[in-house]
Structure 1
Amino acid sequence: MCSRNIKISVVLFLVLIPIFAALPHNHNLSKRSNFFDLECKGIFNKTMFFRLDRICEDCYQLFRETSIHRLCKKDCFDSKWFGECLKVLLIPEEEISNLQHFLRVVNGSPISFNMGPQT
């Protein structure tokens, strides 16, 4: 009887491990809470939000300055700093058009970051 219980326990253990490993992790939840922490008033679209967030992450990686990272995300990416990051990262014009659409979706309103002339 004891041997049978051990076998059943081992089988259940081996079956449940892959199931738990396949469950989604809290990474999406943390990004979604970041959406609300930034006071975004639009629609949470994971793909759009991740792309905007990636711009600020790349800008941070370039300068390694936490204030730039924070300022880039300020007001849900609606700041001149986000525009400055787009410039220094040499984001092409067609990509900027997509990002402006993404900003309208996550902000729920037109964006106002100032790109200025690109050099």
Structure 2
Amino acid sequence: MCSRNIKISVVLFLVLIPIFTALPHNHNLSKRSNFFDLECKGIFNKTMFFRLDRICEDCYQLFRETSIHRLCKKDCFDSKWFGECVKVLLTPSEEITNLQHFIKVVNGSPISFNMAPVT
């Protein structure tokens, strides 16, 4: 009887391991690795990085073009494409000021493009 329970336990263990490993990984760790994948040289701030990333996600949702998603994140959000996404999403000017600060923090350098709102 004990041998049967051990066999059942081993089978369950072998079945459940792949299921647990297939579950989504920690979202925070994923975002942090994305920070390094984009070659960001500043400080990883989860809130700031998530907000910048959200601009690119929203822009992608609007156009459904994967190249826009990739170009928006180019150079750690310091590309003309990010600025264009900010404009297209009709981001308020006070939010643009925050985004510029966020880019400085996560990118580690001054912003090289203009994110002026559309008038």
| TM-score, normalised with respect to structure 1 | 0.78
1:26-70 CA-to-partner distances (Å, cap 9, x unmatched) read 211111000000000000000000000000000000000000000
Q: State the percentage of identical aligned residues.
A: 92
Question: 1:113: Cα distance to partner?
Answer: 2.2
Q: Distance in 2 between matches of 1:63 and 1:16?
A: 39
Q: Distance in 2 between matches of 1:98 and 1:19?
A: 41
The answer on whether the counterparts of 1:82 and 1:113 sit within 8 Å (CA) in structure 2 is no
Count residues with an aligned counterpart: 119
1:7-40 CA-to-partner distances (Å, cap 9, x unmatched) read 9999999999999999995211111000000000
The answer on whether the counterparts of 2:93 and 2:117 sit within 8 Å (CA) in structure 1 is no
Q: Which moved more, 1:106-115 or 1:42-51?
A: 106-115
Question: 1:115: Cα distance to partner?
Answer: 2.9
The answer on whether the counterparts of 1:71 and 1:81 sit within 8 Å (CA) in structure 2 is yes
Q: Distance in 1 between matches of 2:94 and 2:117?
A: 16
**Structure 2 vs 1, CA of residues 87 and 23 (structure 1 numbering), >3 Å: closer, same or farther?**
same
Q: Which runs of 5+ in 2 are unaligned?
A: none
**Structure 2 vs 1, CA of residues 13 and 95 (structure 1 numbering), >3 Å: closer, same or farther?**
same
Aligned to 1:40, what secondary structure does the other structure show?
coil
Tell me the equivalent position of 2:89.
89
**Considering only aligned residues, what root-mean-square deviation do their CA atoms show, in Å?**
3.7
Q: Which moved more, 1:17-26 or 1:86-95?
A: 17-26
Q: Distance in 1 between matches of 2:60 and 2:76?
A: 16
Q: Which runs of 4+ in 1 moved over 2 A?
A: 1-25, 113-117
Aligned to 2:98, what secondary structure does the other structure show?
helix
Aligned to 1:49, what secondary structure does the other structure show?
helix
Question: 1:95: Cα distance to partner?
Answer: 0.2
Q: Distance in 2 between matches of 1:59 and 1:23?
A: 27
Superposition pairs of residues 52-67 of structure 1, within 5 angstroms: 52-67=52-67
Q: Which runs of 5+ in 1 are unaligned?
A: none
